[in-house]
Amino acid sequence: MYSVFMSTPDRLIEATQELLWERGYVGTSPKAIQQRADAGQGSMYHHFSGKPELALAAIRRTSAEMRETAGRTFDSPGSAYERVSRYLLRERDVLRGCPVGRLTMDPDVIVSDELRSPVDETIGWLRGRLAAIVQEGLDRGEFAHTLVPDDIAATIVATVQGGYVLARAAGSTDAFDAAVRGLLTLLAPATDAG
């Protein structure tokens, strides 16, 4: 499953990332991690003090990967609307949900300040980047002057995360796609309205 060149700690972290996304914290047992990573119990506890430390490393990596992927879209050329649109329309595994957003539904992650922190930081980062892009669009006259960047950023994040929930509940990406289309229609640049 993993490259022979991947170190044991990396295999353990990647296996934990996958399992957290699939099963959540409670459903991710040390044994399941070891089996997925093809690593023994001794190897796991040699590199990590236990499941909480390994889960934290996995959550941090998942968060960093999400920021990197979104950042490439946000930093790409184009108008504010085009960058927001590319972010909303980018390819996603919609029926699996968001690997970071799903952690907010995990009670064991939410009650732990340490495990929740990278999730909260990533969502805050996402909202901040989106608000800055919306502000750029306002400054350039792309959007209606009544838009509030922080509110629109929260709406974009809520649309994506809520879209995942709707799609998973229906077993179809249609609801996610409809939410994205609806938001893009509402955000359409002022010059296109009319």
Assess if residue 179 is contained within a domain: yes
CATH number of the domain to which 154 belongs: 1.10.357.10
Assess if residue 2 is contained within a domain: no
- How confident is the model over 34-90, as pLDDT tens digits? 999 999 888 888 899 889 999 999 999 999 999 999 999 999 999 999 999 999 999
CA atoms within 13 A on the CB side of 119: 24
DSSP code, position 75: T
Confidence label for 194 from pLDDT (cuts 50, 70 and 90): very low
Cα separation, 105 vs 42, in Å, equals: 31
Query: How many domains does one find in the chain?
Result: 1
Assess if residue 43 is contained within a domain: yes
Percentage of residues in the chain having pLDDT higher than 90: 84
- Average pLDDT across the chain, whole number: 92
Assess if residue 72 is contained within a domain: yes
Assess if residue 1 is contained within a domain: no
Assess if residue 126 is contained within a domain: yes
Assess if residue 169 is contained within a domain: yes
pLDDT, residue 5, reads: 78
- CA-only gyration radius of the chain, Å: 19
Among 115, 103, 125, which residue's Cα sits nearest to residue 51? 115
pLDDT, residue 4, reads: 59
pLDDT, residue 1, reads: 56
CB atoms within 10 A of CB 19: 21
pLDDT score of 11 more than 50 = yes
pLDDT score of 15 more than 90 = yes
Across the chain, how many H-helices and E-strands are there?
A: 9, 0
pLDDT, residue 191, reads: 57
Assess if residue 59 is contained within a domain: yes
End-to-end CA distance of the chain: 53
pLDDT, residue 193, reads: 43
pLDDT, residue 192, reads: 47
pLDDT, residue 3, reads: 57
Q: Which residue range forms the structural domain that includes residue 89?
A: 8-187
Cβ atoms 129, 87 nearer than 8 A:
no
Give the distance from CA 63 to its chain's centroid: 7
Span 117-137, mean pLDDT? 97
Confidence label for 97 from pLDDT (cuts 50, 70 and 90): very high
Cβ atoms 54, 48 nearer than 8 A:
yes
CA atoms within 13 A on the CB side of 99: 23
Name residues whose C-beta falls within 8 Å of residue 125's C-beta, 6 or more positions apart in sequence. Answer: 67
